[in-house]
Amino acid sequence: MTIQEILATMDYGPAPESTAEAAAWLESHNRAFGHFIAGTYTLPGEGFESRNPATGALLANVTQATRGDVEAAVAAARAAQPGWAALGGHGRARLLYAIARLLQKHARLFAVLETLDNGKPIRESRDIDLPLAQRHFYYHAGMAQLVETELPGRRPLGVCGQIIPWNFPLLMLAWKIAPALATGNTVVLKPAEYTPLTALLFGRICAEAGLPAGVVNIVTGDGTVGEMIVHAGVDKIAFTGSTAVGRRIRQATAGTGKSLTLELGGKSPFIVFDDADLDSAIEGLVDAIWFNQGQVCCAGSRLLVQEGVAGVFHAKLRARMDRLRIGDPLDKSTDIGSLVDPVQHEAVSRMVAEGAAAGDMYQPAGTLPGGCFFPPTLITGLSPADRLMQEEIFGPVLVATTFRTPAEAVELANNTRYGLAASVWSENVNLALGLAPKLAAGVVWINGTNMFDAAAGFGGTRESGFGREGGWEGLLAYTAPADIAPRANRVAPVPAPTTPSANGSLDRTAKMFIGGRQTRPDGGYSRAIWSAGGILLGHVGEGSRKDLRNAAEAAAKACGWAGASGHLRAQILYYIAENLSARGAEFAARIDAMTGGNDGQAEVERAIDSLFTWAAWADKFDGAVKDVPIRGLALAVREPLGVIGAICPPATPLLGLIAAMAPAIAMGNRVVLVPSEPFPLAATDFYQVLETSDVPAGVVNIVTGTQAVLATELAAHLDIAAVWNLSTPDLDAGIETAAAGNLKRTWCAGPGANDREALEQATEIKTIWVPYGE
């Protein structure tokens, strides 16, 4: 081939990576592995084969963990945890630093083994996965050094069960293990059945670093092993994987008190405006959907192009697809490697075969190598409701449609049950940044894609899960308050007396408060509320599913509250406190009459103080600009969750209502409150304060009734973004089980939880990446 021909074709010659060192390591274990428990490898047992998906060649035999293996790993982690926590931040930092250095020293071995086991191109393993894994351990070595001074009043959770996927085996291990160890936890980690080898090699790194035995334990096997870990005696479950499995984990952990973070599926939009740099957007799109063969939870798998440039953009994209190199993952010139397993290849093939006819499909010409290879695929002309536009394919398949206006782009982007990531391309930075807050996504990339760093939180909303990995927000997920507020105790309502007495005043009907109006209960039932002295104080409505539905709809319509400034929200909270103070004596008397005590005035004063506290926080709970290694910014923006359903504590009818309402609305959420069941009249009096305090209709809604019934109905409602149970712990299991339906967040805590914990529960971090420069 002449130089002229080379320049004309730009063909790459073969550049194979040697597998000698990886093969030698596998042979040193006779290509048969047990688990890594208590600092040593166990003897191999019965199990399964790990094969190279590109060639089908056997790599190793790996052991299927038994219940006894999982129990031994958990016991080792439990025994090691007190000593690991007592080592202190500096001691843990030294060991995390040692792990990071060893990952650097053995980087090529890890990269080759990852590509052999997973099928991804060696360039991705070598240049992306390994540097990011190292970065996480370096970063969290620093976090370990700082955690005791920067997170005072926090403690490690204990033993963490961690279940990771097959698409980024080593990187997901680093995301999970590094923050857990930095904060003093120990771990039991299960790698994916398809890709266990780099996790097993990591066990050697732990031993070389001098990590105490039992701090990191690795058990291998299929999904049943993950189920064993979920049901084991661990204090936290951190899971990355499919939404369906995440839902089952939420149900399995319901009512157990286990901390839970879920990073699940996605169907992320890649939005291209007509003023975008189209050539740059094409290269970004190649990275967004064909990186790791599209087997990425945040892959930009839905292409939304503005109509005016759609034809040009699609033509450029097809031409770029024709130049993608598909082949041996160990060849450094390969762009697209193998899917991870024949099972995954069959699943992708089936989805495309069943759904492609709804649009126009394009695949580059050429013959694929043998193995689990699938061609880069573009399907245009789909409607938003088509299955391929809605369901995660998890392969190198891009589906596309068009839009006309920015508002339509947002509507199409959010038309999915997922909410993990989004990418926006426009030379108008005002347009792009204006779009970012409107997108239902935990991460938004402006004129870029697939930007990750240990300092920047990553995670989703909706059915993409909850919780964050990376940054301070990710670190918090592995800690708990050192002083936990006691949970509320059940309080029995005052029973009806044998000889009731009327109160002598004109009957005053207490109603629900929904959408800024007093409304009667839909079911038409009411319940009498008696004083301790046998006097009828009034009746309250028995709320039902229909009342909750009406309240949720009213709250959803009040979405403008989220866009109100923190200053405005603070002023309204101060105004509520002012008007409550003006009627303080009346509320105190009502509380004393219901409870039979004499603490009403003190409770009113504490409620006013609480309102002032949350008003003060309304414009002060800031986000951050993260120091990430790019020319640009990663903005950690605190956003409200949406509509929060809250079950109020029974013993303090006014203060408990404020504890649930005020932090939520201070952060821009709307609320549906279920007040104290035995003493609800303080809440029905309180809506009169709301009516005179400029609270927009729908921001606060109050539905009285039986908490055990209403709590699970709230948790099951698809328009509720989170449920707080500040009432009795016997409600936790029902709430958390029902919340699995759309994977909403839950918070089950005592009514005296500290301010910062409530603020964290009322917000979620959205990370917005903004590169700059020419």
Residue 372 designated active-site: no
H-run or E-run covering 485: none
Choosing from 114, 160, 193, 297, the catalytic residue is 297
- Contacts for 724 with CB less than 8 Å, ≥ 6 apart: 644, 645, 646, 647, 660, 664, 746, 747, 748, 749, 761
Closest alpha carbon to 523 in 548, 499, 500: 548
Whether the Cβ atoms of residue 205 and residue 36 lie closer than 8 Å to each other: no
Whether the Cβ atoms of residue 503 and residue 301 lie closer than 8 Å to each other: no
Pair of tokens at residue 350 = 């089936």
Q: How far apart are CA 399 and CA 289, in angstroms?
A: 10
Whether the Cβ atoms of residue 340 and residue 347 lie closer than 8 Å to each other: no
Pair of tokens at residue 594 = 């219901």
**149 in helix, strand or coil?**
helix
Q: How far apart are CA 658 and CA 726, in angstroms?
A: 11
Q: How far apart are CA 74 and CA 189, in angstroms?
A: 10
Closest alpha carbon to 510 in 710, 680, 694, 701: 680
Whether the Cβ atoms of residue 215 and residue 78 lie closer than 8 Å to each other: no
Pair of tokens at residue 712 = 């699970």
Q: How far apart are CA 178 and CA 191, in angstroms?
A: 15
Q: Which DSSP string corresponds to 698-760?
A: TSEEE--S-HHHHHHHHHH-TT--EEEE-S-GGGHHHHHHHHTTTT-EEEE--TT--HHHHHH
Whether the Cβ atoms of residue 702 and residue 673 lie closer than 8 Å to each other: yes
Choosing from 114, 124, 193, 263, the catalytic residue is 263
Pair of tokens at residue 260 = 């839970």
Q: Is the C-alpha dihedral spanning 391, 396, 397, 402 positive or negative?
A: positive
Residue 463 DSSP symbol: G
Q: Is the C-alpha dihedral spanning 531, 533, 536, 542 positive or negative?
A: positive
Q: How far apart are CA 421 and CA 288, in angstroms?
A: 11
For strands 47-51 and 259-263, give the pairing.
Answer: unpaired
User: Treating both helix axes as pointing N-terminal to C-terminal, what angle do 732-739 and 707-716 enclose, rounded to 10 degrees?
Assistant: 20
Q: How far apart are CA 769 and CA 227, in angstroms?
A: 36
Q: For the chain, how many residues are written?
A: 774
Residue 263 designated active-site: yes
Whether the Cβ atoms of residue 34 and residue 62 lie closer than 8 Å to each other: no
Q: How far apart are CA 356 and CA 549, in angstroms?
A: 38
Q: How many helices (H) and strands (E) are present in the chain, helices listed first?
A: 28, 32
In 106-222, which ranges are continuous DSSP H helix?
107-118, 122-124, 130-150, 169-182, 197-209
Closest alpha carbon to 155 in 632, 519, 478, 390: 478
- Contacts for 141 with CB less than 8 Å, ≥ 6 apart: 93, 94, 96, 97, 100, 182
Q: Which DSSP string corresponds to 106-127?
A: THHHHHHHHHHHH---HHHIII
The partner residues of 644 in beta bridges, in order of sequence, read 671, 722
Whether the Cβ atoms of residue 757 and residue 481 lie closer than 8 Å to each other: yes
Show which residues are catalytic: 263, 297
